[in-house]
Structure 1
Amino acid sequence: MSDALLETRDLTVRFGGHVAVDGVSCAFAPGQITTIVGPNGAGKTTYFNLISGQIAPSAGQVLLRGSAITRHSVAARCRAGLGRAFQLTNLFPDLTVFENLRLVVQSRRHRGFDLFSMASRQRYMSDEAAEVLARVRLSELADHKVSELSHGNQRKLEVAMLIALDPLVYMFDEPTAGMSVDEAPAVLELIAGLRGRADRTILLVEHKMDVIRNLADRIIVLHNGALAADGDPAEVMASDVVQEAYMGRAIEDV
């Protein structure tokens, strides 16, 4: 596991008598898209919350580039290189699409938050924001307030803002949820394009089987909070654990 960019070791969280995540150990290498699947209530989002710092574990560790970040705050993990779409890209509804994105670029470059003066004086920030907007096909909406956007376009903006943040670890929690058939491809293409970054890794929680098949280099399956399967997408997708989970039948204890 020495080449892992992100790693969890025996990661566990209990809520009263309920074990929501049960001793999950996984290492995530750079240059790879790992999709996390499982039935509702399997612990996928809770596992994401433990990694990103939304909740504290009862036991176990989270490591980034070999260093423990288990007790770090969400903000500290962000500075260290963890990026999660819905938690880090809170949209400002009264600002425009472009202003939201430029604010992220400015923050990443440690320029503070004087959005309207400093960012306007530094052309490269605006150019970078415009480039990301073009990549997610939101350029035509750049001057629209976020409050005017459809749900699908707000999700696209969230993904764009995570891309602009440029973390070491991208964490996407159902990035195409709420998007139409026409809106989703731009986001999926963008995520697929990140695979080529040899110094980045991507974690994806997703339920849509076509998305999983097209994007995943690796699949891990959670069931009752425990790691039930981990490996090559074709093999995992054909396993009894996945077949039973998605057919809605009871899964035997693993």
Structure 2
Amino acid sequence: MTSPSLVTSDLTIRFGGHVAVNSVSCAFTPGELTVIVGPNGAGKTTYFNLISGQLSASSGTVTKDGVNITGMSPSARAGQGIGRAFQLTNLFPQLTVLENIRLAVQARAGAGWRMFTPVGNFRRLTEKAEHYLEVTRLSKLAHQPAANLPHGDQRKLEVALLMAMEPDVYMFDEPTAGMSLDHAPDVLDLIAGIKADTSKTVLLVEHKMDVVRALADRIIVLHNGELLADGDPTEVMNSQIVRDVYLGRATEGAA
């Protein structure tokens, strides 16, 4: 049996008297794509922020490959193999697509952010960046400023940046948010390709049920910051308590 790559144990965060995530314990294994669902305000993004280090836990732990990373910064967690994509694109808008990816490759290689070093000195890194351009089907846009890309291609570029960092754990927070129906499948195909690598662990926050059905190996449901259900997608989605708390509401008011 594959050992978990990522474990949260009794993970909790309080904002004053409000408990946003309440003692959530989950283990995530390589080769598995877990979709995290729940109503608005359920604590999904907050839970992600606790794992990736954007928020500090009030109590509980986050463990990566047996190492307690609870007190580490987001950059230190990235160094431990935690890769995070956000709801909003996080790019260097004035740099080209290739330059964005090359900076990610340089960071992964420990070459730092020396933007003014001649490109020839980083030929191997540039070739690697071009590989991620090809994988994400962005090669034709290599020399376009990131700011000029349509939203769908910016999301693809963010996936390329994440892939260039070569994490063990991929975290996607509503990856198709704001995307047109034409562009969304491209990003979902990229995530499906990452999922196919059984050495990778993938976590996905999503509210679109068609995306959940297409990608999920496992679903966990958060409600009021607590873990409500965890298991096989069909069983979880057919659970009466989940229908009452989340799926029913989503059906009635979903966009």
TM-score, normalised to structure 1's length?
Answer: 0.92
Q: Who is 2:181 aligned against?
A: 181
> Is the deviation greater in 119-128 or in 161-170?
119-128
Q: Deviations over 1:169-220 (max 9, x none)?
A: 1000011111112211221111111123232201000111111111111000
Cα pair distance change 1:122/1:44, threshold 3 Å: same
Q: Who is 1:226 aligned against?
A: 226
Q: Deviations over 1:119-163 (max 9, x none)?
A: 433322222212212222222211111111122221111111101
Q: Who is 2:70 aligned against?
A: 70
Q: Who is 1:196 aligned against?
A: 196
8 Å Cα contact 1:84-1:162 kept in structure 2: yes
Q: Who is 1:9 aligned against?
A: 9
> Is the deviation greater in 12-21 or in 188-197?
188-197
Q: Distance in 2 between matches of 1:136 and 1:28?
A: 26
8 Å Cα contact 2:92-2:100 kept in structure 1: yes
Q: Distance in 1 between matches of 2:242 and 2:116?
A: 50
Deviation at 1:167, TM superposition (A): 0.5
8 Å Cα contact 2:86-2:175 kept in structure 1: no
Matches within 5 A, 1:158-169: 158-169=158-169
8 Å Cα contact 2:218-2:231 kept in structure 1: yes
Q: Who is 2:249 aligned against?
A: 248
Deviation at 1:52, TM superposition (A): 0.6
> Is the deviation greater in 193-202 or in 119-128?
119-128
Determine if the alignment matches structure 1 residue 117 to structure 2 residue 104. Answer: no
Aligned residue pairs, count: 249
Q: Distance in 1 between matches of 2:90 and 2:41?
A: 25
**How much identity, in percent, do the aligned residues show?**
60
Matches within 5 A, 1:148-167: 148-167=148-167
Matches within 5 A, 1:24-173: 24-86=24-86, 90-173=90-173
Deviation at 1:65, TM superposition (A): 0.4
Regions of 4+ moved over 3 Å = none
3-state SS of 1:122 partner: helix
Cα pair distance change 1:137/1:227, threshold 3 Å: same
3-state SS of 2:86 partner: helix
TM-score, normalised to structure 2's length?
Answer: 0.92
> Is the deviation greater in 116-125 or in 168-177?
116-125
Amino acid at match of 2:249: G
8 Å Cα contact 1:119-1:125 kept in structure 2: no
Can you give the 5+ residue segments of structure 1 that lack an aligned partner in the other structure?
250-254
8 Å Cα contact 2:2-2:29 kept in structure 1: no
Deviation at 1:116, TM superposition (A): 4.5
3-state SS of 1:248 partner: helix
3-state SS of 1:41 partner: coil
Amino acid at match of 2:16: G
